[in-house]
Amino acid sequence: MGSGIVQVAAQAGYSVLFVEANDELVKRGLGRLRDTLEGLAARGKLEARAKDETLGRIAGTPRLDDLKACDLVIEAMTENQALKNETFAKLDRICAPAAILATNTSSCNVTALAAATKRPGQVVGMHFFNPVPLMKLVEVVRTILTDDAAATAATEFVRSVGKVPVQAKDATAFIVNRLLVPYLLDAIRVYEGGLASLEDIDAAMKLGCGYPMGPFTLLDLVGLDTAMYVAEVMFDEFREARYAPPPLLKRMVMAGQLGRKTGRGFYTYDAK
């Protein structure tokens, strides 16, 4: 997600400095961005000059301290509340008082991140979708502590990188996952109950609703561990049975059947 956000911001003309956990990952990140932009240029989707200029606007560092001159920081680290809280407290000490601190989190508590800083009014959620360069939507999330000016600036930034902002309050999963996750969990329950085959449920939702893919194809793509983690966080927040991960999902995760990334989830994938 981080490399996608770096790419769209740099392509939109912003100077971008990204932080990775160590030198090796900085190098790998830069290499990956270069490959992506060169691939776009080779396919005629980006002019050679625009590619060079975009690459010229991107730099990487392993030191959080180097972010001190940034006006906006978008955090896209591993999904872990404690790690993010700690990072926001550090960013608050490092960044200029006017800087906005945003998080790309899908399920962490944005209010907790705001409360970890001395600038809670300037902390927002900026939830991009995967793959970032292709997906138009960004959920701009405000907490009960967010200032109007910060929410407006975040929304303008989203527009300036060519995305479409929608506004949501800080409640776990925001808009898209709040509606999508219960649907995916229901699909597993319906399959567990023996209503129909995986293939037929997928075909029904794809052809009957015009969805680009059925729920099991989507679950395999997202990763069953990720789906279960988000469901657990939502269940913990709302205490409603419809967010509880179904037994089959839990057992597939225990068995290491996590979807495409392990070669087996609801479907089986060969190396190709």
Ligand X SMILES: NC(=O)c1ccc[n+]([C@@H]2O[C@H](COP(=O)([O-])OP(=O)(O)OC[C@H]3O[C@@H](n4cnc5c(N)ncnc54)[C@H](O)[C@@H]3O)[C@@H](O)[C@H]2O)c1
Residue of 177, 192, 197, 232 marked catalytic:
177
Helix axes 247-254, 224-238, angle to 10 degrees: 130
Shortest distance (Å) from residue 129 CB to ligand X: 6
Give the C-alpha separation, 73 to 48, whole Å: 28
| Per-residue interface string for the shown chain with ligand X, residues 33-72, x marking contact by CB under 6 A | ----------------------------------------
Q: Which stretch binds ligand X (CB under 6 A): 41-49, 77-85, 115-123, 262-270?
A: 77-85
Helix axes 215-222, 198-209, angle to 10 degrees: 110
Active site residue 38: no
DSSP string across 13-51: T--EEEE-SSHHHHHHHHHHHHHHHHHHHHTTSS-HHHH
* Residue 228 token pair: 């279960």
Pick 41 or 223: Cβ nearer ligand X: 223
Q: Tell me which H or E stretch contains 176.
A: helix 176-192
Establish if 109 lies at the interface with ligand X (CB under 6 A).
no
Helix axes 176-192, 247-254, angle to 10 degrees: 90
Establish if 104 lies at the interface with ligand X (CB under 6 A).
yes
Establish if 133 lies at the interface with ligand X (CB under 6 A).
no
Shortest distance (Å) from residue 62 CB to ligand X: 8
Pick 49 or 136: Cβ nearer ligand X: 136
Establish if 20 lies at the interface with ligand X (CB under 6 A).
yes
Residues in region 187-246 near ligand X by CB under 6 A: none
Active site residue 127: yes
DSSP string across 197-250: -HHHHHHHHHHHH--SS-HHHHHHHH-HHHHHHHHHHHHHHH--GGGSPPHHHH
Residue of 3, 104, 106, 107 marked catalytic:
106
Binding site for ligand X (CB under 6 A): 1-2, 19-21, 25, 76-79, 104-106, 127-130
Active site residues: 106, 127, 139, 177
